[in-house]
Amino acid sequence: MQDCNIVELYWQRDEKAIKETAEKYGGYCYRIAYNILYSDLDAEECVNDTYVKAWESMPPAKPEKLSTYLGKLTRHIALNRYIHDRAQKRNKAADLVFDEIAELIPDGATSNLPDEVALKDVINRFVGALPSLTRVVFVRRYWYVSTIKNIAKDYGLSESNVKVMLLRTRNKFKAFLEKEGITL
Amino acid sequence: MTKDQLLLSFDLLDEQYIEEASPTAAKPHRRRIQLVRAATCAVLIAILVPAILLVLPLFRTPTEVPPVVYDPPTIFNALESPELLYGNGNPFVVGDTTEVVDFSDTTEPLSKGFGHGYYIVHAEIISILPDVYYPLNRSPNFAPNAYQLIRFRTLEALHGNVPEEFLYLMPMGVVDNSFDSYDTFIISMGLRGTENYILRNGSKQKLEAFPLLLFADPNNCPEIGNFISFTDGVFNENVFHYYDTDLVQPGYTVEYTLTRVKERIKESKQEIEDSGYYSFPIDILTYSTDFTTEEARAAFAYVQAFENGVFVQSICSYFDAAYPTLTYTRYIGECQTEEVISINLETEEVTYSEVRYSEEELRSIVNVSEYAANLREKYAAQLPVPPHTDTQGKELYSLNVFGWYLKIDGNIYGIVKTTWLYHEKRYDEEYHCNVLYRYYDDSFILLDAQNLTVREVSRDELLELTGGQDFHNYIHQYRYNYAYKAGYFF
């Protein structure tokens, strides 16, 4: 079923919307959740929460790209859950991603959030300016929280290539944020 | 800003970048290889190789182990109760999450159904095999789905190189007495294994290899429209109540439905080509096992020789044309080991896992399969009590016993795990609907051939033994007494 038809089912409050969503995007959402939570039950629960959030949010939302809309919901739910549960349950793979991200934050940084609009603009300009391969590797790592191994495999790179590429991109990103006046 | 906030803020990324990097999107370097000749060869080999019933002779002199020193918990084998696994009609309950073990190596398609990229066939039933089967390389943390095998004859291959005859892995509970009254089926399916795909025959309690190519629903969910069945040449919705209404409606003839399916395949291909993205290759990929290098030939011969143990084959990323890799995992009995051998079909590079099991070790190894089987029998006599779960008001959904091997510092250990899954349905005030909750529980038994002991161990003890490693992800910690949401009923 086409995405627009699935969205229409949500708008009609037809429960078949969730069946169709699960059928078409269940695996996609599960993968995102599993990368972060590294637990099949937790990931499955997270995907179920995604369906509920989708049910609650459509209407009024009418996403053009259902996959990324659901992916964002899943990622958000999974990350929040991971942060909440981190003390009890470790996912070394996800921890590594957090640690890499932490490199971007200078010591003594405040917990103030930068302006979301400005941050969105900067992140997207930075990512958009990257060479295509670097971009997908960067997004796979920090949006999909994919492992280095999987990224390397998917893009025909060695794991050390991916690590170096990510390191350089993080350094560039940090410099770019500073240049743009985004203080983390 | 904290690192948590920063990682969350990546949600602000534009959708185009997210979609571009999706694990299911096209890879920039992907090369499409179509080895049709090789496919034909593989099919021929598969057909010529006789069915091999594998009674594993690996325990010629099994090590004696003392009996368990505690009152053994249970055994009710929920595997024998398919109605518990499939009979509730809840669309969210899947019984197990099947792709966990292969997760990192599997590229699932974004969409399913009668779309592009799948094997799509118009076929009729030759026979329904009477036994019950269980997959080996699936996450056994929950009760592994029980299957029946249906042998089909291809009437028309609508998409993909579907052989003249093939086997279809059908979850138990779907096939009933009325099943063979259908004339024909249009089936959208994924390839599960190539040559000598191995399943555990639950009826005969042994492993079995199949010479025919074996297909299955890629997502193990037959209710969602992968079958269109016909009686007297007209669509019959009785078995599969949920189907793609865009494609077929009651009253449609098989001829008309076939035309619509073909149109759908054509449209989907065009749609994918136009979009520049594709979840998996448009054309069906097949691979050659006619290796040119000595290294690859030797590895292939080694994993085919069953006296070396049973190597269960899987194709990593068979939707991904970039790095088709045959991966073989050694099983001893029905129990997985860490020994894995991979052959890259493109480069013929062979990779051996660090852990290997020698012939000498196999001759004196503790028989974990037998121990697990005995435990199942005991459980069958009396239902076991889960160690961490208050079962009041909850329904036992599945109970499973399985084992695996671990080699640590030269010592080989067997581990037998019992898992419980309970269900509970409650009304959720927040969402104003009924919610199905699941409760997970488990226990472990360590068979230590070195010290001739068999004892119950905690997860922490196991992790200490393995140095924190969880090779198969079987020691993974689920929350006890925690209500996992499994589905909603609006």
Shortest Cα distance from B329 to chain A (angstroms)?
19
Q: Is the pLDDT of residue B8 over 70?
A: yes
The per-residue pLDDT of chain A, averaged, comes to 81
- Averaged pLDDT for residues B243-262: 83
- Reported as a pLDDT band with limits 50, 70 and 90, residue B176 is low
Residue B92 in this model has a pLDDT that exceeds 50: no
Asked whether the predicted pLDDT for residue B42 surpasses 70, the reply is no
| Token representation of residue B467 | 């140095």
Higher pLDDT: A134 or B210? It is A134
Amino acid B307: pLDDT: 53
Closest CB to A123: pick one of B1, B4, B12: B12
Residue B260's CB: how many other CB atoms inside 10 A?
19
End-to-end Cα distance, chain A: 43
Give the residue with greater pLDDT, B150 vs B431. B150
Which residue has better confidence, B134 or B234?
B234
Residue % of chain A over a pLDDT of 90: 3
Question: Which residues in chain B are contacts of A123 at CB distance < 8 A?
Answer: 9-10, 12-13
Give the pair of three-digit tokens for residue B365.
């190894």
Q: Give the mean model confidence (pLDDT) for residues B180-184.
A: 81
Which tens digits make up the pLDDT trace of A103-124?
777 655 555 556 777 788 888 8
Place of tokens 């993205």: B277
Q: What is the pLDDT of residue B70?
A: 22
Task: Determine which of A161-175, B327-341, B439-453 has the lowest per-residue pLDDT on average.
Answer: B327-341
Residue B259: per-residue pLDDT? 92
- By Cβ distance, the residue of A34, A64, A142 closest to B7 is A142
- Dig out the tokens for B14 from the structure: 């534009």
pLDDT at A39: 79
Q: For the ranges A10-19, B34-43, B122-131, B389-398, which has the lowest average pLDDT?
A: B34-43
Cα distances from B164 to residues B45, B157, B284, B403, in angstroms, run 14, 9, 16, 37
Tokens, residue A76: 């958000």
Q: Which residues of B442-479 are buried (b: 16+ CB within 10 A; e: fewer)?
A: bbbbbbbbeeeebebbebeebeebeeeeebbebbbebb
Q: Where are the alpha helices (DSSP H) in B276-411?
A: 294-304, 359-363, 368-381
Q: Which stretch of B122-126, B192-196, B341-345, B385-389 has the lowest confidence by average pLDDT?
A: B192-196
pLDDT of residue A90: 62
Residue A84 at interface with chain B, using a CB cutoff of 8 Å: no
Contacts of B217 (CB under 8 A, 6+ apart): B169, B189, B190, B226
Confirm if B149 and B129 have CB atoms less than 8 A apart.
yes
Residues B133 and B123: beta-carbon distance below 8 Å: no
- Comparison of pLDDT for B199 and B259, the residue scoring more: B259
Torsion over CA of A92, A96, A97 and A98, rounded to 10 degrees? Answer: 90
| pLDDT class of B222 with cuts at 50, 70, 90 | very low
What are B395's strand-pairing partners? B423
Cα separation, A115 vs A183, whole angstroms: 10
The string of pLDDT tens digits covering residues B200-214 is 777 776 667 676 777
Q: B490–A55: do the CB atoms touch at under 8 Å?
A: yes
Does residue A126 have a pLDDT over 70?
yes
Residue with tokens 């993968």: A31
Does B99 have pLDDT greater than 70?
A: no
8 Å CB contact between B214 and B197 = yes
Contact A34/B at CB under 8 A: yes
Contact B459, B475 (CB under 8 A): yes
Q: With 90 as the cut, is the pLDDT of residue B456 above it?
A: yes
Give yes or no for a contact between B425 and B79, defined as CB atoms under 8 angstroms apart: no
Strand ranges, E, within B250-294: none
A15 in contact with B, Cβ within 8 Å: yes
Give the pLDDT confidence of B325-350 residue by residue, as tens digits. 677 778 777 778 898 888 887 788 89
State the pLDDT at residue A16.
81
Mutation for B interface: A15, A23, A28, most B CBs within 10 A: A23
Token representation of residue A95 = 């921890």
Query: Cβ distance B300 to B284 under 8 Å?
Result: no
Q: How far apart are CA A165 and CA A169, in angstroms?
A: 6
Instruction: Provide the pLDDT confidence category of residue B50 given band limits of 50, 70 and 90.
Output: very low
ipTM (interface pTM): 0.83
Task: Give the pLDDT of residue B234.
Answer: 92
Cα–Cα distances in Å, from B469 out to A81, B76, B417, B479? 24, 30, 16, 19
Report pTM.
0.60
> Alpha-carbon distance B9 to A172, whole Å?
18
Which residues in chain A have their CB less than 8 angstroms from residue B431's CB? Answer: 52
> What's the count of helices (H) and strands (E) in chain A, helices before strands?
9, 0
pLDDT band of residue B281 (cuts 50, 70, 90) is very low
Lowest mean pLDDT among A95-99, B218-222, B318-322: B318-322
Choose between A13 and B5: higher pLDDT: A13
Closest C-alpha to B185, from B175, B195, B194, B193: B175
- Helix axes A16-37 and A92-102, enclosed angle (nearest 10): 70
Identify the residue whose tokens are 């594993």: B56
The candidate with the shortest Cα–Cα distance to B269, out of B257, B281, B258, B260, is B281
- As a whole number, mean pLDDT of residues B127-154 equals 74
| pLDDT greater than 90 at residue B294 | yes
Residue A60: Cβ-neighbour burial (10 angstroms; 0-12, 13-18, 19+): exposed
Distance CA(A72)–CA(A61), nearest Å, equals: 13
Any B CB within 8 A of A108 CB: no
A37 contact partners, CB below 8 Å, separation of at least 6: A43, A46, A78, A81, A82, A91, A94
For residue B449, is pLDDT > 60? yes
| Distance separating alpha carbons of residues B14 and A86, to the nearest angstrom | 28
DSSP 8-state class, residue B404: E
Lowest mean pLDDT among B63-72, B115-124, B205-214, B269-278: B63-72
* Token pair listed for A39: 């637990």
Dump pLDDT digits (tens) for B52-83.
222 222 222 233 322 222 222 212 222 222 22
| pLDDT of B352 higher than 90 | yes
Indicate which of B33, B104, B489 best probes the interface with A, i.e. most A CBs within 10 Å of its own CB. B104
Sign of CA dihedral B385, B388, B390, B395: negative
**What would the DSSP string read from start to end of B147-172?**
EEEEEEEEEEEEES---SEEEEEEET
CA distance B11 to chain A (A): 6
Task: State both tokens at B287.
Answer: 């691979």
- Given a contact cutoff of 8 angstroms between Cβ atoms, the answer to whether A182 and A151 are in contact is no
For residues B239 and B250, what is the distance between their CA atoms, to the nearest angstrom?
13
Number of Cβ within 10 Å of residue B242's Cβ equals 15
Question: Minimal Cα–Cα distance from A163 to chain B, Å?
Answer: 17
Are B108 and A19 within 8 A, CB to CB?
no
